[in-house]
Chains A and B, each alone.
Chain A
Amino acid sequence: MKLLEELTPRQDRIEKKNSGLLTKFAGVLLLVTVVIVLFKTLGNASLFFYPVDEAVEKRVELQDRRFRVIGTPQPGIFETMLSGRQVLVFTLCTGDIYADVVHEGDPAELFNPGVPVVLQGVWREIQPPSVEKLLYSPNDGWHIETDSMVVKHDNDYRSDRAELESCSSE
């Protein structure tokens, strides 16, 4: 009897009306979500990672602009105080180009020499503090002041035979 009622023209009209509304709702919801996702993605598109060599090359152009830089931290990382703030000082490299970094904030859990990191910050035309402690410093009177750090891990799972991302060995 219930099925019979569902077959009547009136019920069919209701079904059509309801399914049309639901489809539109689902479509709008999906569209809004995809637009939000695209907006977030495109909004960050300018923050792609400059390798250290490119960041050094575009230093004047990038000055006072926040940018992301990717490179491999070198041995000789140390902590120090700068204007009452605890900072991490180290040298980053890509290929044979090096740049000094002064990072404020907690480093990533896997932060270590040889593990590439993506940092976000600005160029500063001043020597980093205690530059003489850095083993690979270019000593060029510049450093990158950063406050955000994420790790770009490699795809090597061969334990002992894994190749190390190290500029000094290149």
Chain B
Amino acid sequence: MTSSITTASKGSKILGMTSIVGFAVLVLLAFFATDPDIRFHPETGEEFGQFDAVRLLYLHVPLIIVTYLAFVICAIASAGYLVKLTFWWDSMAHAAGEVGTLTCALVLITGSIWGRPVWNTWWEWGDVRVMSTLILFLLFLGYLALRGAFVSPQRAARPAAIVALIAVLDIPLINRSVEWWENRTLHQKSTLSELKIEDLTLFTLMLGILVSLLVMSWLILHRFRVAWLEHVEFEQGIKTAIEERRQMDNED
């Protein structure tokens, strides 16, 4: 009976396949079809730019967008839980929080890999964009640790929801940091909002965002279903235990 339980459905399989195909196309475009970032100085004629490091843009930018989105979903679902007190909202918050933490870790890793050739440093401790993103990651890592610290998911739901609602406040700070503290960050300003990107580079970045959204939806969907199955099993376990206890009492 248990072996037939699955988190997959026809819709999720289509979503998963689309994500895989989309990711393959993205890799082809990002690493082979698009040009490296090379410019020529008008006075000296010397080459400059980000060269091949620019290819990480197609992963790094989409990842931060889906990270923001996953954490916002987590916060909305947490608020939903505090109002409705239902397991559905709590599971959605948990699933989105977990996926967001994973993508946030990938943001920090890809950013660090990009930073070495472009910024000339793996990590910049004084940088407000880098540090506020690290703090976001740590806050949601704490959110997950808090959830894991309780044996009963119901007991973890309320404090975790409060932590998620506080942690998500870091997102506008991260997003605006390059404007508010321009002289405290090496991070460049938004490329998309100033439209300083075009042609195949823009298309590949947009595809990257779309693929990342698909992957995020796919992961959240499955994680949510796993949480739901865990909940059903937990409830079923309590019912079974009560039944067994009643039987024992009757036997006595």
Contacts and interface: CB of A to CB of B under 8 A. Distances in A.
Interface of A: 1, 3-4, 6-7, 15, 18-19, 22-23, 25-27, 29-30, 33-34, 37-38, 40-41, 43-45, 47-51, 70, 75, 108-115, 118, 149-162, 164, 166, 168-169
B32 interface: no
Interface in B182-216: 183-184, 186, 188-191, 194, 196-198, 201
B48 A155 contact: no
Contacts, number: 157
Contacts of A109: 117, 120
Contacts of B155: 19
A139 B41 CA distance: 24
19 contacts: A3-B237, A3-B240, A4-B244, A7-B245, A15-B152, A30-B145, A37-B131, A37-B135, A41-B131, A45-B126, A48-B184, A112-B41, A114-B48, A115-B48, A118-B186, A151-B120, A155-B194, A159-B35, A162-B39
Given A3-B244, A7-B245, A110-B51, 8 more contacts: A19-B152, A27-B146, A113-B44, A115-B48, A149-B120, A153-B186, A157-B201, A162-B39
B48 A159 contact: no
Contacts of B198: 157-158, 161
Contact of A159 (B38, B145, B150): B38
Q: Give the secondary structure class of A's interface.
A: mixed
Contacts of A70: 183
The 6 closest A-B pairs by CB, nearest first: A44-B126, A108-B120, A30-B142, A3-B241, A22-B149, A112-B48
A157 B125 contact: no
Nearest to A36: B138
Given A44-B125, A150-B119, A157 B191 contact: yes
B189 A155 contact: yes
B121 interface: yes
Interface residues of B, number: 62
B252 interface: no
A19 B156 CA distance: 10
B126 A47 contact: yes
Contacts of A47: 126
Contacts of B118: 110, 151, 153
A149 to B, nearest CB: 6
A168 B43 contact: yes
Interface in B41-96: 41-44, 46-51, 54, 57
Contacts of B124: 150
Contacts of A162: 39, 196
Given A23-B149, A110-B117, A156 B183 contact: no
Contacts of B135: 34, 37-38
